[in-house]
A = this chain, B = another copy of it.
Amino acid sequence: MDYFLAVDIGGTQMRAACYAENNQIPSTIQRIYTQGSDGTPLDRLNHLLESIWPEGHVAGVGVAAPGPLDPYQGIVIEAPNIAGWVNLPLKCHLQDRFKVPIALGNDANLAALGEWKYGAGRGYHHLVYITVSTGIGGGVITDDRLLLGERGLAAELGHVTILPDGPICSCGQPGHVEALASGPALAKWAQGEIQKGAASILPADQKITAKDVGEAALKGDALAIAALSRAGYYLGLALANYCQIFNPSVFIIGGGVSKPGPYLFDPLKASLREHVMSPDYLKNLTITQAALGDEVGLMGALALAHSIV
């Protein structure tokens, strides 16, 4: 029996799981902090993999990592929040140590792959996945293949200018989708409105988060609903652009900010309908929430592990 291993590396935690062939339920799963006093993040990753290594034959290991990376060479270009992970040849390191085929992918790209193979994207051939969280990431499947581009840096769907005189993005550029519709962006907008005197159950005197805004919206708070509506408006405008660019058959929206459901999705869909250049793009178009939840990173890495053997 062959086994496939999946690893999902984040700035705070990393998780690894072992799957028997043809199985999507892990036989073993482990989670540790990415950084700690006993060893570098790479040491910790090695130990994590050893802790789940099965008795049988490992056919492949898929690794999801954050930030820009080169999936062809298996090099982490720069992992945000992981000290020292700059131009790290992670694939070589792991192959040297474990002597099995390893593949590396950007976490948002692999989330798209995971949703396509195991989640809300099954059966579709042209898929656009967007995760709305602290940042906005993306992944695209066109004609049943993951879009990577020349150096594996494609599908940065949160980093596209849609409002040149808009707020500055985390990447330093003005008016990106991420600067208008990410969790921190919508919380900041709500906070600014409260400071200008808008009525809300959200506190005026302490920092609020997108989660706070989502909870307030569920309680009927008009300002919180407006903040999600504004984010949905800009996401819908971006999705209209992606209709014209990719002509997908499904949009999958993941990430924590999508959890308040209709408060984000209704204005998003209205804005998409308003901005799309032709109703032809909306025919048979599905817009749906991601299905894999917190498992999406592992499932994407599992799909990648299967793709290399």
User: Which size bracket describes the interface of A in this complex?
Assistant: 35 or more
Q: Is the interface of A mostly helix, strand, loop or mixed?
A: loop
CB-CB contacts of A119-156 with B at 8 A, as 1s and 0s? 00000011000000000000000110101111111111
Looking at the complex, which one of B155, B164, B172, B278 makes contact with A237 (CB distance below 8 Å)? Answer: B164
- The complex places the Cα of A154 from the Cα of B163 at a distance, in Å, of 22
Rounded to whole Å, the gap between the CB of A148 and the closest CB of chain B is 7
Judge whether A118 is part of the interface by a CB distance below 8 angstroms.
no
User: Does B277 contact A159, Cβ atoms closer than 8 Å?
Assistant: yes
Copies in the complex: 2
Rounded to whole Å, the gap between the CB of A268 and the closest CB of chain B is 15
User: Does B143 contact A248, Cβ atoms closer than 8 Å?
Assistant: no
Identify which of A40-48, A215-223, A239-247 touches chain B. Answer: A239-247
User: Does A125 contact B150, Cβ atoms closer than 8 Å?
Assistant: yes
- The complex places the Cα of A187 from the Cα of B25 at a distance, in Å, of 61
Rounded to whole Å, the gap between the CB of A84 and the closest CB of chain B is 19
Judge whether A182 is part of the interface by a CB distance below 8 angstroms.
no
- The complex places the Cα of A171 from the Cα of B240 at a distance, in Å, of 13
Judge whether A275 is part of the interface by a CB distance below 8 angstroms.
yes
User: Does B247 contact A151, Cβ atoms closer than 8 Å?
Assistant: yes
Judge whether A209 is part of the interface by a CB distance below 8 angstroms.
no
- Known pairs A143-B147, A156-B244, A173-B277 / 13 extra A-B pairs, C-beta < 8 Å: A68-B280, A126-B150, A142-B154, A149-B246, A152-B247, A157-B244, A159-B244, A159-B277, A160-B245, A161-B240, A162-B164, A163-B164, A171-B278
Chain A interfacial positions (CB closer than 8 Å to B): 68, 77, 125-126, 142-143, 145, 147-157, 159-164, 169, 171-173, 176, 237, 240-241, 244-249, 275, 277-278, 280-281, 283-284
Q: Please name 11 pairs of A and B residues whose Cβ atoms are closer than 8 Å in the assembled complex, sorted by A.
A: A68-B280, A142-B147, A142-B149, A148-B247, A150-B284, A153-B280, A153-B281, A162-B162, A163-B164, A172-B277, A173-B275
